[in-house]
Amino acid sequence: MDANKESIEKLIQIAAAKSQELYASILDDVSTSDLCDSNTPVLLRDVLELRMGIKFILVDLQTTLRACFSTEKAYEKRYHLKNLYAGMLEGYKLLYGFGKMRKHTIWARIGKDLLAETQKNGNKPNAFEALNAQYNRITQQLLTFESNLADNDDRNLTYHYDDDLLLVYRLTLKTDSEEKASLKYIDYMGVLGAMQDLGNQIEDVEALAGKALPIGEGHFDEIALVFAQKVAGYFGKHQQLPTVLSEAVDEGAKRLDSFAEYKKGVVNIEEYISKTYSATIEIPEFGVMKDLLDVQMLVSFMMADMATILRSYIGAGSIVEYPLFIRRLTISRVSSLAHLIGYKKDDSDSMWSSIMAAIPPESQSLHDEAVVIKQKMKGMRKPGDSDTRALYVHLIDNHKYHSNIPTIVKNLAGITILSEIRASQEMVLLCGRISRFLVRLMGVLSESARKARIESNKRLKHQLDIIRTLTSHPNCPPVFRDSMRQQMDELERLFKIND
C-alpha cells in the first residue's frame, strides 16, 4: 500500500505542476467554442467538447486527490474520497452517460460521426477506418471501467445528502481506502488519456483535409486567482481560523458518529418491536426523535464538510484549485439549506418546520431561538442558488445534452470569493448554534417523554392486564397462553412498566 501511495503522490505532484497550464488551455477551448458556428465541422465541435470535458475532469479529480493526501484527518479523507468517486461518475455521465441518455453524449456522437466518415468512401480504405476501429477499442475500455464504477446512488448521496442521513453516513464510512481510490483514479486516467489521444488524431486527419477549429484565446484571469491565493494566505496566517476549522471538523465528525449510533438504536428498537410483537404499539416519540437525529446528523455533516472544504481552500496546491473549492462550498451550503429550510416561499415541509412543530408550547425560549435560527438560514439563501448548485453538480446539460463545462468555467471566473467564504464561515458557526439548540430541545422532549411514558405505561399495563385475564380462561389453549404471557413479560421489561 505504501508503494502505491508514494506512486500516486508523485503522480499528483507532477500533475499539480501542470494544473495552471491545463486550466488556461480549458479557457482557450471555451473561447474557441464561442467562435464555432454552423461552418465548423460537427466532428471537430464534438472533439472540442470532449477535450474540454477531459481537461476539466482531470483538474477536478486531481484537486480532490491532492487534498485527500494532504490531510491526516480520517473524516476529511473520506469526504475527499467520496467526492473523487462522485466526480468520476459525473465525468463519466458527461462523456458517455448511462441508459437512454448515452446516445446523446459526447463519445456517442463522435462514434456516430466517425462511422459516417468511414462509410463515405464505401469499401475504399480511408484514415477514418482506423480511427473508427480505435474508437471501438476505447469504447470497450469505457464499458469495462463502467462495470466497476461507483453506484449512481452513492454519487447522489455525495452531492445531495439525503432525507435518511444514515444512508449518507454509511456511504461515508465505507469510503475509506486510499489505495482502492488511487488505483481507480489511475485506471480512469488511462481511459481519459486514450480518449484524448483519439481526439488529437481526429484533429490531425481533419487538418489534412483543410478543416480546423477556430483559434480561441481565452483570458486566463491570473489576477483574480492570485487574489484568491492571497485571501487563502491571509486566512491561513490568521491564528484563530485554522484552529476553529480544525476543531469544527473533529467536532462535526464526533457528533455525527454519536447521533448515527443513537438513530440506529432507535430504528433497531422499532424494528424489534414490529417483528417480535403481534400487537400494534404506537410510540410517537420515536418519530420525533428520528426527526431530531436527522437534523443533528445533517448539521454535523454540514459543519464537518464545510470546515473540510475551507481547510482545503487554505491549503490549496495551485491557484486554479481555489475556484474549484469555492464550487464545493456552494454545493455544500446550498444542499444543506435546501434540506433544512428549503428555497421555496412555503417552507412548511422543510426539516426545520418539523423541528419547530416538535417544540412544546410552554417552551417559549426554545421557540424564540428556533425563529431566530430560521431567519438566519433564510438570510443565507442567495438568488439563483439552486440553479448555481445544479450547474456545479451536473457537468452535462440533461435537456440540451451538451457540456456544461464552458458555463461552469465562466461562472467560476465571476465568483465573489470573499462573499462565498464569509457565507460558508457563517454557516459553520450557525451549525454549532443549531446543534446546541437541538441538544436543549432533546432535553426538554426527553423530560416530556418521561412524563408521557409514565402515563403511557399505565395505559399499556392496563391492556396487558386485560390480555393476561383473557389467557386465564379455561378454554385458552396452553401453548397460546404461555406464548402470550411470555410476550407480556418481555413488554413489561422492555418498557420498564413496573419501575
Q: Please name the amino acid found at residue 487.
A: Q
Question: For position 305, what pLDDT does the model report?
Answer: 92
- Render pLDDT for 372-393 as a digit per residue (tens, 0 to 9): 999 999 999 988 899 999 999 8
Q: Which three cell numbers stand for residue 337?
A: 439549506
Q: What are phi and psi of 344, to 5 degrees?
A: -100, 160
Rounded distance between C-alpha atoms, residue 303 and residue 428, angstroms: 5
For residues 65 and 8, the answer to whether their CB atoms sit within 8 Å is: yes
**What one-character-per-residue DSSP string does 92-124 give?**
HHHHT-SGGGGGGSHHHHHHHHHHHHHHTTTTS
* pLDDT at residue 1 tops 50: no
Rg (C-alpha) for the chain, rounded Å, is 28
- Render pLDDT for 173-215 as a digit per residue (tens, 0 to 9): 877 788 888 888 889 999 999 999 999 999 999 999 899 999 8
Distance of CA 345 to the CA centre of its chain: 25
pTM for this model (two decimals): 0.82
Question: For position 460, what pLDDT does the model report?
Answer: 64
* pLDDT at residue 154 tops 80: no
Q: Which three cell numbers stand for residue 69?
A: 493526501
Indicate if the alpha-carbon torsion angle 302, 303, 308, 309 is positive or negative. Answer: positive
Which of 51, 21, 1, 54 is CA-nearest to residue 188?
54
* Average pLDDT estimate for 308-324: 87
Establish how many alpha carbons lie within 13 A of residue 437's alpha carbon, considering only the half-sphere containing its beta carbon.
26
* pLDDT at residue 352 tops 50: yes
Which of 473, 434, 120 is CA-nearest to residue 292?
434
For residues 106 and 46, the answer to whether their CB atoms sit within 8 Å is: yes
Give me the residue spans of the domains in the chain.
2-220, 228-342+344-380+416-449
Rounded to 5°, the CA angle 83-84-86 comes to 60
Question: For position 459, what pLDDT does the model report?
Answer: 66
Rounded distance between C-alpha atoms, residue 455 and residue 450, angstroms: 9
H or E segment at 357?
Answer: helix 351-357
**What one-character-per-residue DSSP string does 146-161 give?**
HHTSPPHHHHHHHHH-
Which of 247, 169, 222 is CA-nearest to residue 431?
247
Q: Please name the amino acid found at residue 7.
A: S
Q: Please name the amino acid found at residue 124.
A: K
Rounded distance between C-alpha atoms, residue 405 and residue 218, angstroms: 14
Q: Which three cell numbers stand for residue 63?
A: 484537486
* pLDDT at residue 16 tops 60: yes
Establish how many alpha carbons lie within 13 A of residue 83's alpha carbon, considering only the half-sphere containing its beta carbon.
28
> Which residue would you say has higher pLDDT here, 182 or 458?
182
Q: How far is CA 110 from CA 31, 120, 230, 414, in A?
A: 21, 15, 42, 32
Contacts of 346 (CB under 8 A, 6+ apart): none
Rounded distance between C-alpha atoms, residue 213 and residue 211, angstroms: 7
* pLDDT at residue 296 tops 90: no
Question: For position 365, what pLDDT does the model report?
Answer: 93
Q: 31-40, 167-176, 248-257, 454-463 — which is least confidently predicted? A: 454-463
For residues 95 and 195, the answer to whether their CB atoms sit within 8 Å is: yes
**What one-character-per-residue DSSP string does 178-216 give?**
HHHHHHHHHHHHHHHHHHHHHHHHHHHHHHHTT------
Distance of CA 202 to the CA centre of its chain: 36
Question: For position 13, what pLDDT does the model report?
Answer: 67
